[in-house]
Amino acid sequence: MDRTADLGVALGFVIGRIEEQAMRSGEPLTVEQRLLLNDLPKTSSLPGMFTGDPESLPMLVPRDATYERLCALAKAARRNDLALNPASLDWEFSFAVLQLNRHPMCWLLQWAGVKQRRPWWDRWLLIVAGLLVVVSAMALVLLAGNQPWTVYKWAGVGAGYVAIMLVMYFVSRRIEERQLEQNVERCRRGARFAGA
């Protein structure tokens, strides 16, 4: 699997379909929309989370009509493609490749309604991970013993807990990456994707 080639194919497909949908709608993309589509921002312009504190009001961010139009065009293009060929895996392939490469175009596809298929055991894995966190925290507390805690015991328990969280984070990232790779391969086998 060549990630760079797959990324080029996925980007070409999504951008091409959005441009075709804009032409079909009778209102072609403007220069500003085309520039945004070809160079999406890597970070969100939205402010941090609202804390609920009435003294700190959330900052209002103006709507981005250009981005909203691109999302609407992507949604309409996907809807048209699925109406013509419900078995098409082109959009899923593109979404999986873009997400695997952490490309900002996957945000646009998420807003357009494209979703990744998850295996049946994914929810069970989440439950097992949660139980593992609880059991490991309890085990670390029990290992510390019943005597008064010294600074070393606190440091040991804290370091152990941080180590468990880091291991779980990296394992979950690897599992997600593996699922995306399998999804790309499944789509590649099941679709006649141009250039793949």
CB 189 within 8 A of CB 1: no
Cα 179 from Cα 160, distance rounded (Å): 28
The answer to whether residue 196 sits within a structural domain is: no
Cα 170 from Cα 22, distance rounded (Å): 41
Query: In total, how many domains does the chain have?
Result: 1
The answer to whether residue 28 sits within a structural domain is: yes
The answer to whether residue 195 sits within a structural domain is: no
Cα 74 from Cα 187, distance rounded (Å): 19
**In which band, very low, low, confident or very high, does the pLDDT at 19 lie, cut at 50, 70 and 90?**
very high
**In which band, very low, low, confident or very high, does the pLDDT at 167 lie, cut at 50, 70 and 90?**
confident
The answer to whether residue 84 sits within a structural domain is: yes
Mean pLDDT computed over every residue of the chain? 80
CA 162 to chain CA centroid, nearest Å: 25
Cα 94 from Cα 98, distance rounded (Å): 6
The answer to whether residue 30 sits within a structural domain is: yes
The answer to whether residue 12 sits within a structural domain is: yes
The answer to whether residue 130 sits within a structural domain is: yes
Residue 113 to residues 50, 133, 191: CA-CA distances in angstroms?
A: 25, 32, 20
The answer to whether residue 20 sits within a structural domain is: yes
Structure confidence by residue, pLDDT tens digits, 59-112 = 666 677 888 888 899 999 999 988 888 878 888 888 888 888 888 888 888 888
Structure confidence by residue, pLDDT tens digits, 99-119 = 888 888 888 888 888 887 777
Cα 119 from Cα 142, distance rounded (Å): 36
Structure confidence by residue, pLDDT tens digits, 27-42 = 888 898 888 888 887 7
Q: Is the pLDDT of residue 195 over 80?
A: no
Cα 39 from Cα 33, distance rounded (Å): 10
Instruction: Look up the domain containing 142 and give its range.
Output: 3-190
pTM: 0.69
Dihedral sign for Cα atoms in the order 91, 93, 95, 101:
negative
